[in-house]
C-alpha cells in the first residue's frame, strides 16, 4: 500500500446538484441524471460546455455521451465507471481527482441516477436473474441454493455473528436508525422529513430477516445526485466556497466477495474499509480526532458499527458503546448522517452522502455541525469500497 500518493488536497468539489428524492419520479432515469448534472454545474457557476469529464457507476443506465448531448456539454476528454454497487460512490470522486490532476480534464462531473423504487428494485435480490455462465453470476450459486437471495439476507449473517462476538443488540442497531431519522426529520429534502422515530418504533417494526427489522434497512429511492470536481485553483474562482478533497481511497480486502465474504477467518470486521482507513489517515496526516462529522454508509444499520471501528473512532467491538446516549446525533461527539442518511433522506447509492459532506464543510447543512474542519464520507460495505475526507480550504 502506498502511503504517500501525491494527491493530498489536490482537488476540490465545486458544485453539487440533485433532483427531489421520491418513490415514483414519473420520469426516466436519463432525465433524472440530466437534471442533477445540470444543477451541479449551475451550483458551481459553470456552463455545461466547460465540462470535459464524467464519472459514474458501472450500474448506471445513463451513458455519459447521452447526458453530454442533452445538456450541450460537447467534447469529453475523460470518462470512467466504477464497479461494485454502493462501494463505487467515493471512488467516482477519486477518479475525478486523478483526472484533474493528470491534466486530462479540467471539470469532471460525477453522478448517479436511478428509479430504484419505481423501476428495478435492488432489494428484491437475485432470485429473478437468469442463469449466466460468468464469474460474477456464478458467485451467487454458492449462496442462493441455501436461501441467501437478497442483500438483507446477506447482511443478516454478518449481523448475527457480530452480535454473538461483541454482545451487540438489536437496540444498538436501532440507535443508528433513530439518529438518522432524527436528522432526516429536520431536512426538507429527506423523504422522511418531519417523521422521526423512537427506539420503540424500531423494535416494533416488522422483521425482514432476523436480526434485521424493517427500520434497519435503507430505503428504495428514485432520484439523482451529481457533483463537479476540479482543481482547488479553479474552484476558488467559482461560485461556491471551495471544499477540498483531502484525499479519497478505494479498497478490496483479502478473499473479498460481493456482500458474502463468509470464508475469512473472521466475518465481523470490514477489512476493505480498514484498508481505506489506513490509506486516508496515512496520506492526509489526519486521524479520527480530526473529524467533526461523518457520513457513514447506512444501507443496513449493523454495518455502521464496524465502520466506526475500522476508522479508529473506537476499538473493535466497542461501537455499541461509542454510539450510546446521543453520541452520533447533533451535539454528540461524532454526529453522523446529518442529512438523514440512506435510511432517512434517500438511497442514492451513497452519492447524496458526499453532497452532505460538502454542505457540512461549506457550513450550509440544515443540521450544521459547528466548526467543521474535516468530514469523513464512506461508501458501501461488504463489497469493494471507497471513502474520502473533505476539508475546508486553507
Instruction: Taking the CA atoms of 50, 53, 57 and 63 in sequence, report the sign of the dihedral they define.
Output: positive
Tell me if residue 143 is catalytic.
Answer: no
Alpha-carbon torsion angle 248, 254, 260, 263, nearest 10 = -160
| Burial label, 102 (beta-carbon count in 10 A; 0-12, 13-18, 19+) | exposed
Q: Does residue 25 contact residue 19 with C-beta atoms inside 8 Å?
A: yes
Separation CA 61–CA 203 (nearest Å): 37
Tell me if residue 347 is catalytic.
Answer: yes
Q: Which of 143, 162, 166, 297 is catalytic?
A: 297
Among candidate residues 292, 282, 294, 279, the one with its CA nearest the CA of residue 350: 294
Q: Which of 111, 162, 166, 347 is catalytic?
A: 347
The 3-state DSSP class for residue 163 equals helix
Q: Does residue 87 contact residue 380 with C-beta atoms inside 8 Å?
A: yes
Separation CA 105–CA 68 (nearest Å): 15
Q: What is the DSSP letter of 190?
A: S
Phi, psi of 385 (to 5 degrees): -140, -170
DSSP labels for 294-345? EE---SBGGGHHHHHHHTTSS-TT-HHHHTGGGTTSTTSSS-B-TT-HHHHT
Which active-site residues does the annotation give? Answer: 297, 347
Amino acid at each position: 500500500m502506498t502511503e504517500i500518493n501525491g494527491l493530498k488536497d489536490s482537488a476540490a468539489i465545486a458544485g453539487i446538484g440533485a433532483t427531489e428524492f421520491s418513490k415514483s419520479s414519473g420520469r426516466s432515469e436519463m432525465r433524472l441524471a440530466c437534471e442533477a448534472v445540470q444543477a451541479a454545474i449551475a451550483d458551481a457557476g459553470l456552463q455545461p460546455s466547460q465540462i470535459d469529464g464524467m464519472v459514474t457507476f458501472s450500474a448506471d443506465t445513463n451513458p455519459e455521451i447521452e447526458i453530454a448531448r442533452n445538456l450541450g456539454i460537447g467534447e469529453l476528454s475523460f470518462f470512467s465507471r466504477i464497479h461494485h454497487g454502493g462501494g463505487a460512490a467515493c471512488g467516482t470522486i477519486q477518479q475525478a481527482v486523478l483526472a484533474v490532476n493528470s491534466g486530462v480534464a479540467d471539470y469532471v462531473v460525477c453522478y448517479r441516477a436511478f428509479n430504484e423504487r419505481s423501476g428495478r428494485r435492488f432489494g428484491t435480490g437475485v432470485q429473478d436473474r437468469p442463469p449466466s455462465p460468468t464469474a460474477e453470476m456464478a458467485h451467487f450459486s454458492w449462496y442462493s441454493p441455501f436461501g441467501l437471495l437478497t442483500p438483507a439476507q446477506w447482511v443478516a449473517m454478518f449481523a448475527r455473528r457480530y452480535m454473538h462476538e461483541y454482545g451487540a443488540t438489536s437496540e444498538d442497531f436501532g440507535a443508528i436508525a433513530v439518529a438518522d431519522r432524527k436528522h432526516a426529520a429536520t431536512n426538507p429534502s429527506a423523504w422522511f422529513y418531519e417523521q422521526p422515530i423512537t427506539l420503540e418504533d424500531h423494535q416494533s417494526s416488522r422483521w425482514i430477516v432476523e436480526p434485521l427489522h424493517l427500520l434497519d434497512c435503507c430505503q428504495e429511492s428514485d432520484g439523482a445526485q451529481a457533483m463537479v470536481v476540479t482543481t482547488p485553483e479553479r474552484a476558488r474562482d467559482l461560485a461556491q466556497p471551495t471544499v477540498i478533497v483531502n484525499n479519497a481511497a478505494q479498497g478490496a480486502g483479502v478473499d473479498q466477495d460481493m456482500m458474502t465474504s463468509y470464508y475469512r477467518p473472521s466475518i465481523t470486521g470490514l477489512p476493505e474499509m480498514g484498508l481505506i482507513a489506513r490509506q486516508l489517515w496515512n496520506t492526509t496526516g489526519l486521524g479520527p480526532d480530526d473529524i467533526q462529522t461523518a457520513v457513514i454508509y447506512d444501507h443496513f444499520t449493523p454495518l455502521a458499527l464496524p465502520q466506526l471501528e475500522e476508522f479508529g473512532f473506537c476499538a473493535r467491538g466497542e461501537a455499541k458503546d461509542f454510539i450510546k446516549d446521543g453520541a452520533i446525533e447533533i451535539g454528540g461527539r461524532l454526529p453522523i448522517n446529518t442529512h438523514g442518511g440512506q435510511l432517512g433522506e434517500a438511497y442514492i447509492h451513497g452519492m447524496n452522502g458526499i453532497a452532505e459532506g460538502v454542505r457540512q464543510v461549506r457550513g450550509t447543512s440544515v443540521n450544521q455541525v459547528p466548526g467543521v474542519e474535516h468530514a469523513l464520507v464512506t461508501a458501501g460495505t461488504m463489497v469493494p469500497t471507497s471513502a474520502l475526507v473533505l476539508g475546508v480550504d486553507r
